A and B are shown apart, each in its own frame.
Chain A
Amino acid sequence: MAKTIVCHCEDITLDELHSALAQGYFEIESLKRYTGIATGKCQGKCCIVQTLRELASPRGSAGIRAGLAHGPGEPLAPMRDEDLAALVRIPTIRQPVTPLRIDDIVELGAEEE
């Protein structure tokens, strides 16, 4: 099967995302750090939508449905896939949102003073 690249900055494939989900990294914050998704030069602008789609899919919510993982604040009762999808959250965005050259940051800092 052809390789599907989800994250072009870090060359992360759809198979790698699926593998991480199968190993129990069901949450965006853990998935991000386990695969490296959304941590490259674009900081998630190119890959985050597809990653969230995977998390909202039955594959992504399998752990919560099976009681293996808790989602943020979800009840303990079994849930429908569509309800679970609503639990998927956008990961923390870190500043600077646009990567900045160190030279430019130093210059900006000097202007501040």
Chain B
Amino acid sequence: MSVARTAEIVIVGGGVSGMACAYNLARRGMRDIVVLEKGYPGVGATGRCGGGIRQQWGLEENVILAHESVKIFEHLSSELDFNIFFRQGGYLMLVHDEREQALVEETIPMQNRLGVPTRFLAPEEIRGRVPGLALDGVRGGAFCPTDGTAYPYAVLWGYAEAARRLGVRVYLHTEVRAVSRLAGGGFAVETAHETFHAPRLLNVAGARTRDVAAMLGVDVPTRPFRHEIAVTEPLKTFLEPMVISVRHGFYFSQSLRGEVVGGIGLDGETPSHTSASSPDFLFKYAAALRRFFPALGGARIIRQWAGSYDMSPDHRPIIGGVAGAEGYFHACGFSGHGFMLCPIVSRLLAELITTGRTSLPIEGLSLERFAAGELAHDPYVVG
């Protein structure tokens, strides 16, 4: 074993979280930042997610974080000098029954109060906005015009290149094998090739965050659940917003390349890191897509893939430090919403790590909440 390299901080995970945190830390003046990625950039959830960005949530904390994220997304291409293909086509969340109707009547005013311009669309307004959408059994929908999508890889590459320009060192195909505490404080992070010593450690390894935390004896109660996505051949532009049915766990949108990209939850998934594709998903998704958009029956599906949602017990992210582990920080358990929250979460983490404070409250997202008991749930989580 060679002599250990030193760093100010070692970031475990080269997904969008890791690259964005590296960039924001470097921008705040931190030097000697190392990012360790076990595969290629985005091999985990970043590169497998649908790229949706929405502010329509049931918990105020989620609305605030998502709203702040959208404000960053709106200028991120110029900030990073990289086209992230951000498009604000809106999110249309379909309302099927009285219970969902009551929910949107409660949440839309709350979202409006927090600056998110959601409004209710009656079926005839939906028809005008999304021609071809089958509306039998649909009572309307909550529509937020500033929700949208971005290309996850472009966001990742944009952050990574900007981070590299600021001197961040990124090691690809470099898996973390062991993490331990150093006697005088700080951490030793061991890979196949070398060992890094750093006073700070940021664990943003997506669905593997729990495994890395366990190396330090920190118990993170998240579990990986497979989610699958399929994409059609490119079609002429016909669909402006992302369409979601929370009740069916189903969503679809059209990318700037013209592909229809979407997914649907499968019953009976058990925790696993598998990224295998299943015929069951393909059948269920094709049926749902044709049910909601009959004209798509003749379109071809050309590709499908899967990735992990890192699910926390209350489906809210776990962000911050851990009591008794000086210098250790993590962000995980995003439960399917890590990409859309990344711009704001990476900024807040960089604030926390460099100053000990954050400009938005995140204490409620600490790991300690699970020991305290009472947990809040967001009714708008899909999957």
Chain A residues in the interface with B (C-beta under 8 A): 27, 29-30, 33-34, 36, 39-41, 43, 69-74, 76, 92, 94-96, 99-103, 105-106, 108-109, 112
Contact = CB atoms under 8 A, between A and B. Distances in A.
A71 B287 contact: no
The A contact surface, by secondary structure, is: loop
Contacts of A72: 173
B283 A94 contact: no
Nearest to B157: A34
Interface string B21-55: 00000000000000000001111000100000000
B284 interface: yes
A76 B282 contact: no
Contact of A100 (B173, B277, B301): B301
Interface residues of B, number: 35
B324 interface: no
A36 B257 contact: yes
Contacts of A30: 40-42, 153
Contacts of A95: 277, 282, 304
Contacts of A92: 305
Given A70-B172, A95-B277, A108-B283, A101 B290 contact: no
A94 B298 contact: no
A43 B302 contact: yes
Contacts of B289: 102
A102 B174 contact: no
A106 B40 contact: no
B258 to A, nearest CB: 11
Given A69-B172, A70-B173, A70-B174, A43 B284 contact: no
A99 B172 contact: no
B60 interface: no
Nearest to B37: A70
Given A94-B305, A106-B283, A106-B287, 14 more contacts: A30-B42, A33-B153, A34-B153, A40-B234, A41-B302, A92-B305, A94-B304, A102-B290, A102-B296, A102-B298, A106-B290, A106-B297, A109-B282, A109-B283
Nearest to A38: B303
A29 B301 contact: no
Query: B157, B193, B289 — which one has the most chain A CB atoms within 10 A of its CB?
Result: B157
B233 interface: yes
B299 interface: yes
Contacts of B282: 95-96, 105, 109
